Structure 1
Amino acid sequence: MSSSSACITLLIVAAAAAALVSSVSASPFNFPPVPAANPWLPFKNLSGCRFGEDWPGLRDLKHYLNHFGYLPVAPNFTDAFDGDLEAAIRMYQRNFGLNITGELDETTLEQLVVPRCGVADVVNGTSTMNSSELRGRNLFSYFPGTPTWPGDKTDLTYAITDTSAVSIDVSALKAVFARAFGRWSAATTLNFTEVESAADADITIGFYSGAHGDGEPFDGVLGTLAHAFSPTDGRFHLDAAEAWVAEGDVTEASSDVAVDLESVAVHEIGHLLGLGHTSEADAIMYPTIKTRTKKVELASDDVEGIQSLYGSNPNYKGPTPSSTTTSSPEMNSGGAGLATRSGRGREIAWALAVLAFGFLGAVV
């Protein structure tokens, strides 16, 4: 090949590489556009913040901790890292089995941004989660006062009342909720039947956006996924903004913010029946669930908790080893997987460009 031909060839390669760099920056390969951000991701900017310091964003963290019961209501939260915040962080770390430092270390911040149930972990200053330090003991918990459905009411009805805000096939929804209720029924003396009318239902299920009349507004993509009320209220609400997966394998979903509907449904039904949160990470009643994760099998902690309220089904075979979770290693808290892949794309593109221009210089 002549020098002029080599130059032309390498110029073409260099131009293609430069175009690839540009395209990766705008829309990384064939991956979908970056979705709306997890509202809690900015908490990661607080890494290293300590007692006595003022950091922008601490006010938002205080609102988060207040929402889940770790901080009392204040007339005006500030960006100061004060004693109340340190105590709240310590309680949070204890509940989630983290090192109890009272500091915003990386592990604590990683846990804070994981999508979760909207039900509080702490009520009136008292944690409803048995400490994760008590390994070897039951960690399940109940709502204050241990509310349950009446002992003579073992047949409960439920209705899917509001699906207008989501584009999920109704038959798929029915199948998901039937399986979710069935998991609790299998372990107890309870039976669940779907009915068409809310007026005939003990439990109502609906998808809603933002403020929806119960004082617990949803926050969009990720963040709070759903919430349910203790017996015998019966309300179960899901955030319509989520990328719910009702069919197929959520671990193979194309969306980095995909959330498994059945996994969340099983958790919230536990609340509907009277269970609070647990510090046992493998249990259904653990407060958080990562995206693109399937977690639907009751763990022994869940089973012992629910059977202590309603008795056991003599035909129940017990928790299976498959109760462990699976998730995408690149996507744990919304958006991170996409950022990682786009970064790799840029590295490859720049490497091609540098290589092409290097050869071009050598030939010339």
Structure 2
Amino acid sequence: MNVTGSLDSNTVNQMMKPRCGVADFVNGTKQNHHKHNHKSGFHTVGHYQFYFPGPRRWSKSRLTYRFDSSAPVPASLNLRSVIQQSFNRWAQVSHFTFQEVAENLDADIVIGFHRGSHGDGENNRFDGPQGVFAHAFAPTVGDCHFDAEERWSINPGQYELDLESVAVHEIGHLLGLSHESGKPDSIMYDYFEYGKIKRELTADDIQGIRVLYGLQ
């Protein structure tokens, strides 16, 4: 965006777009959006970005996941199928495998739908429709949460969010990637749009995960 020094229509339109709740760090400084933040930052390599220190990554390639929601999840979302497909997109370009386990078992990753304050601290509470739609934590925390008050869909209309598109993005955070603010077509771009489907990993997303885990 061009810096104009005034609250012009382009700036307002960007601010109104739904956004991932993981905060950005620029030159070591946290850039808060709305009232959400994250505990870790990132450094830049190429066009993709990693969490640090470390960077943050998993020490194993087989990851388990389970579901744990405090809010109802509509059956029409086919949640298990959508999440499995989202994991598969990353598995196809990396060394990872992902396996669902029963809800009463320990898992590396826990996925759920929640409203408002849901145990992540007040700085990470959800804000209802619009604003922040989801957030996920870097390795090895493994929590991925969706705002249950958003209008989710697997075939989104004009004012609905595509669940799979957002899930693929949040899984990128779970694996250690941060936002790619300069590449709107990237899965890891921090803003999204209602009614849009963006499920395919781009070259930047793929290169990022492969460099992070030494796969190239």
Q: TM-score, normalising length from structure 1?
A: 0.52
Separation in 1 of the partners of 2:20 and 2:189? 9
In percent, how many aligned pairs have the same letter? 44
Out of 102, 105, 116, which is 1:196 matched to? 102
Q: Does 1:112 align with 2:15?
A: yes
Where does residue 291 of structure 1 map in the other structure? Answer: 194
- Could you tell me how far 1:126 is from its partner in structure 2? 5.5
Segments of structure 2 that go 5 or more residues without pairing to the other structure are: 32-40
SS across alignment from 2:92: helix
- Could you tell me how far 1:109 is from its partner in structure 2? 1.6
Separation in 2 of the partners of 1:126 and 1:211? 22
What are the residue-to-residue correspondences of 1:95-174 with 2, within 5 Å?
98-122=1-25, 125=29, 138-145=46-53, 146-150=55-59, 153-162=60-69, 164-169=71-76, 172-174=78-80
Where does residue 134 of structure 1 map in the other structure? Answer: none
CA RMSD in angstroms, aligned pairs only: 2.2
Segments of structure 1 that go 5 or more residues without pairing to the other structure are: 1-97, 132-136, 314-364
Larger deviation, residues 189-198 vs 265-274: 189-198
Where does residue 134 of structure 2 map in the other structure? Answer: 226
SS across alignment from 1:142: strand
Q: TM-score, normalising length from structure 2?
A: 0.86
Residues 161 and 198, structure 1, Cα contact 8 Å, conserved in 2: no
Q: From the superposition, tell whether residues 105 and 129 of structure 1 become closer, same or farther in structure 2 (CA, over 3 Å).
A: farther
Residue identity opposite 1:266 in structure 2: V
Separation in 1 of the partners of 2:70 and 2:99? 19
Separation in 1 of the partners of 2:18 and 2:95? 32
- Could you tell me how far 1:122 is from its partner in structure 2? 2.1
Residue deviations 1:159-183 (CA, integer Å, cap 9, x gap)? 112264222347x111100010000
SS across alignment from 2:152: strand
Runs in 1 of length 4+ with deviation above 3 angstroms?
126-131
Q: From the superposition, tell whether residues 220 and 126 of structure 1 become closer, same or farther in structure 2 (CA, over 3 Å).
A: closer
Residues 69 and 111, structure 2, Cα contact 8 Å, conserved in 1: yes
Q: From the superposition, tell whether residues 168 and 311 of structure 1 become closer, same or farther in structure 2 (CA, over 3 Å).
A: farther
Out of 288, 296, 302, which is 2:205 matched to? 302
- Could you tell me how far 1:311 is from its partner in structure 2? 4.2
Residue deviations 1:194-227 (CA, integer Å, cap 9, x gap)? 1113532100000000111101111111210000
SS across alignment from 2:185: coil
Paired residue total: 202
Separation in 2 of the partners of 1:283 and 1:235? 22
